[in-house]
Amino acid sequence: MGRSSIPPALIELSNPHTPEAQVNALRNLKNEIVGHDQRKELAVRHGIVKPLAGLLRTEARKSGKRTSGRRGTSNGNSSIGGGREEWSTEDELRFQATLVVGSLANGMFV
């Protein structure tokens, strides 16, 4: 296995500079680990689970959003483009973190 970009991603996720930097770190981490069980194991050994859990917990509290009621309308009013709200950086953070968690869960302990 070549040199991994997992430690820089972990550093950024543990001590974030900006939400955009976190999104980029999550994308890089996701691209690094998908399909590579040894890299997943390395990420877990480097402590990636705690920052991911913290990020998902924090972002869920900030938004107060739940999965119900998020489809199609915003406060009961439909909007152009199928009625969906605009995708925010925080939404992208949650999405990328969820993809990383899913990748870690899928295949690591098979």
Instruction: Give the pLDDT confidence of 73-85 residue by residue, as tens digits.
Output: 444 444 455 656 7
- Answer for the pair 29, 9: CB distance below 8 angstroms, yes or no: yes
- C-alpha 72/C-alpha 100 separation (Å) is 26
In the three-class reduction of DSSP (H, G, I as helix; E, B as strand; rest coil), residue 65 is classed as: coil
pLDDT of 32-73, one tens digit each?
Answer: 999 999 999 999 999 999 999 988 987 666 666 544 434 444
Arithmetic mean of pLDDT over the chain = 79
Rg (CA), the chain: 16
Mean pLDDT across the stretch 6-20?
88
At CB < 8 A and 24+ separation, what contacts does 62-69 make? 62/90, 63/90
The rounded percent of the chain whose pLDDT value lies above 90 is 49
Residue in the structure block whose two tokens are 């969906």? 84
